[in-house]
Amino acid sequence: MIGRLNHVAIAVPDLEKAAAVYRAALGAAVSDAMALPDHGVTVVFVELDNTKVELLEPLGENSPIASYLEKNPAGGMHHICYEVPDILAARDRLKADGARVLGDGEPKIGAHGKPVLFLHPKDFCGTLVELEQV
């Protein structure tokens, strides 16, 4: 069902500083910052040959990333994103197998302009999983 790894997301307390580390220390190409109010985050993408690293910081008081950073003030891996060809079919299959879809279960438009869903970390070895339709 899942396709390729789309990105690994790292929550950071300061997006500008984190992007600068990736640019300066690692020589990486980093996208411009993009605010995603529906998700409560601001993101940049570190572009790699085979995938991306998403750096995200809280946007607004109700950001789900804010509580993560309270527990992990230096930041850390937040989620992993896999591509799927049909997000609704993937959702329905996962739910039938007992997996929990976060939120209302309906896809939202993600940072790449494509539908995304998040799956409960307790159902996936302690890792928050994002599915993105491609």
- Domains annotated for the chain, with CATH where assigned, are 8-133 (3.10.180.10)
The reported pLDDT for the residue numbered 1 is 86
What percentage of the chain has pLDDT greater than the value 70?
Answer: 100
Q: Is 44 exposed, middle or buried (CB count within 10 Å of its CB: 0-12, 13-18, 19+)?
A: buried
Can 132 be counted among the known catalytic residues? no
What is the reported pLDDT for 62?
Answer: 87
- The chain-wide mean pLDDT, for the chain, equals 96
pTM, to two decimals: 0.94
Set 54, 57, 83, 130: catalytic member:
130
pLDDT tens digit sequence for 69-125: 999 999 999 999 999 999 999 999 999 999 999 999 999 999 999 999 999 999 999
Which helix (H) or strand (E) is 19 found in, with range? helix 15-24
- The pLDDT value recorded for residue 112 is 93
Confidence class for position 128, pLDDT limits 50, 70, 90:
very high
- Mean per-residue pLDDT for 27-40? 96
d(CA 69, CA 78): 10
Distance from CA of residue 95 to its chain's centroid?
20
